[in-house]
């Protein structure tokens, strides 16, 4: 079984060495142990820098390649490290940490509003979920208060893994209608918020998250928009 990538096993790590496995025709860099999260599930790919003996390149984003490969995309055409070279990966940590805070906050938003999710997006300072919600929700200030109340409980955020068959037997774990958990590896990652009788959320997710909800900090519901007859888009922003 392929080892879990660093962006999942060590989401707080800011630097790590890797070896270049290949270069794509488009100028992307494939490394053997990516610290950079590849775009997926509404979360952007990580950015940062790659350095090696004799060179340095700015990474604009990260995407998934063939199979389990992760491809680092330079910000502009420039000399690339040779295949086999050892490189030092450095994350744009402030941006990544913003993604972690927002992504976890969106999980909490799906607890506050227990309706099917039809879409979503994560940014470093804001995020949104689209809900299958024919009618406008209750007062925005009430929803914001409930969300911040969950954040301030400082609940632990952890992960576990189940098989494809176990997910099929528990379809209610999947909240998103637009994006299904990736299959094919034989197991699926679950993100849990809270523990034991204090657990408030459990759902499949491949993104990066903070270790405790208190790290999110205070958030605001910036707007609620109508997006079609059945959909409402709710956007949250970090207050600091």
What CATH number corresponds to the domain at position 151?
3.30.980.10
Residues 132 and 231 both lie in one domain: yes
Residues 231 and 167 both lie in one domain: yes
Q: E strands along 112-186, which residues?
A: 117-122, 126-132, 157-163
Q: Is residue 220 part of a domain?
A: yes
Residues 73 and 111 both lie in one domain: no
**pLDDT score at 169:** 79
**pLDDT score at 179:** 62
Of the three residues 65, 91, 117, the one that is the final residue of a domain is 91
Q: How many domains is the chain built from?
A: 2
Residues 169 and 87 both lie in one domain: no
Q: Is residue 103 part of a domain?
A: yes
* Cβ contacts of 13 within 8 Å, gap of 6 or more: 6, 35, 91
Of the three residues 36, 70, 91, the one that is the final residue of a domain is 91
Q: Which CATH number do you get for residue 83?
A: 2.40.30.130
Residues 140 and 226 both lie in one domain: yes
Tens of pLDDT, residues 185-229: 678 889 999 999 999 999 999 999 999 999 999 999 999 999 888
Q: E strands along the chain, which residues?
A: 15-23, 29-31, 48-52, 55-64, 70-74, 86-91, 117-122, 126-132, 157-163, 187-193, 201-204, 219-226, 231-238
**pLDDT score at 184:** 56
Q: Is residue 128 part of a domain?
A: yes
Tokens describing residue 240: 């600091």
126 beta partners: 237
Can you tell me the distance from the alpha carbon of 34 to that of 176, in angstroms, rounded to the nearest whole number? Answer: 27
Q: Is residue 1 part of a domain?
A: no
Residues 109 and 28 both lie in one domain: no
Q: Is residue 165 part of a domain?
A: yes
Ranges in the chain, pLDDT < 70 = 1-3, 177-185
Residues 137 and 66 both lie in one domain: no
Helix axes 93-112, 140-152, angle to 10 degrees: 120
Kindly report whether the global pTM for this prediction surpasses the value 0.85.
yes
**pLDDT score at 137:** 76
Can you tell me the distance from the alpha carbon of 121 to that of 172, in angstroms, rounded to the nearest whole number? Answer: 21
The residue segments making up the domain with residue 23 are 6-91
Residues 72 and 102 both lie in one domain: no
Any alpha helices (H) in 24-128, and if so which ranges? 93-112
Residues 233 and 127 both lie in one domain: yes
**pLDDT score at 163:** 82
**pLDDT score at 153:** 97
Of the three residues 36, 68, 91, the one that is the final residue of a domain is 91
Can you tell me the distance from the alpha carbon of 62 to that of 161, in angstroms, rounded to the nearest whole number? Answer: 24
């Amino acid at each position: 079984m392929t080892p879990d990538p660093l962006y999942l096993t060590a989401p707080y790590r800011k630097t790590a060495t890797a070896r270049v496995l290949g270069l794509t025709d488009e100028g992307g860099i494939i490394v053997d142990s990516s610290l950079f999260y590849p775009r997926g599930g509404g979360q952007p790919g990580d950015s940062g820098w790659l350095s090696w003996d004799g060179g340095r390149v700015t990474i604009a984003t990260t995407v998934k390649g063939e199979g389990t490969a992760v491809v680092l995309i330079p910000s502009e055409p420039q000399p690339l490290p040779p295949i086999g070279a050892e490189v030092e990966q450095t994350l744009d940590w402030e941006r990544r940490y913003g993604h972690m805070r927002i992504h976890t906050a969106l999980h909490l938003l799906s607890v506050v509003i227990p309706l099917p999710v039809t879409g979503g997006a994560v940014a470093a300072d804001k995020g949104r979920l689209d809900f299958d919600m024919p009618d406008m929700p209750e007062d925005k200030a009430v929803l914001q208060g409930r969300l911040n109340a969950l954040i301030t409980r400082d609940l632990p955020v952890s992960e576990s893994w189940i098989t494809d068959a176990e997910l099929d037997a528990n379809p209610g774990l999947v909240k998103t209608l637009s994006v299904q958990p990736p299959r094919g590896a034989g197991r699926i990652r679950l993100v849990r918020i809270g523990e034991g009788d204090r657990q408030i959320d459990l759902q499949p997710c491949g993104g990066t998250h903070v270790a405790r909800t208190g790290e999110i900090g205070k958030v605001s519901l910036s707007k609620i928009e109508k997006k079609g007859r059945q959909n409402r888009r709710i956007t949250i922003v970090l207050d600091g």
